[in-house]
Amino acid sequence: MKIINKYETAQKLLENGSIKKFGQLQKKLPYTSLAKDAKINPKRLKRLFNDVGEITVAELHRMAEVLHVDIALLRDITIPEADRKTITKKRKKS
């Protein structure tokens, strides 16, 4: 009997490059179980899917361990998105 990994779909999509934005993970993952396994508050994780600028490296590292992917994959989809949001926030203030 094969044991099904609940994060296998997200893991393969991350490795293939099909997921381009961090928020797309929310549609492919049971985020409440990810929050529990990564020891992140579920409300905070849901907020992070919408506003990636608040994420910490420790949270990225824990999610990478749970998803069995390299942290560089999560970093690559997270940091450019956070930079774009920071840039647009600066433009709105000016």
Which domain CATH number covers 56?
Answer: 1.10.260
Using one digit for the tens of pLDDT, what is the confidence trace for 59-78?
989 999 998 999 888 888 88
**2 lies in a domain?**
no
Taking 50 as the threshold, does the pLDDT of residue 1 lie above it?
no
Q: How many domains does the chain have?
A: 1
Q: Which two tokens stand for residue 4?
A: 């099904």
Q: What is the pLDDT of residue 65?
A: 92
Helix axes 31-38 and 42-50, enclosed angle (nearest 10):
120
Higher pLDDT, 60 or 93: 60
CA distances in angstroms from 63 to 21, 57, 68, 69, 78, listed in the order given: 15, 10, 8, 9, 12
1 within a domain of the structure (yes/no): no
Which CA distances in Å does 16 have to 2, 12, 22, 47, 55? 23, 6, 14, 25, 23
pLDDT in tens, 7-62: 888 889 888 988 888 888 888 888 888 899 999 999 999 888 888 888 888 998 99
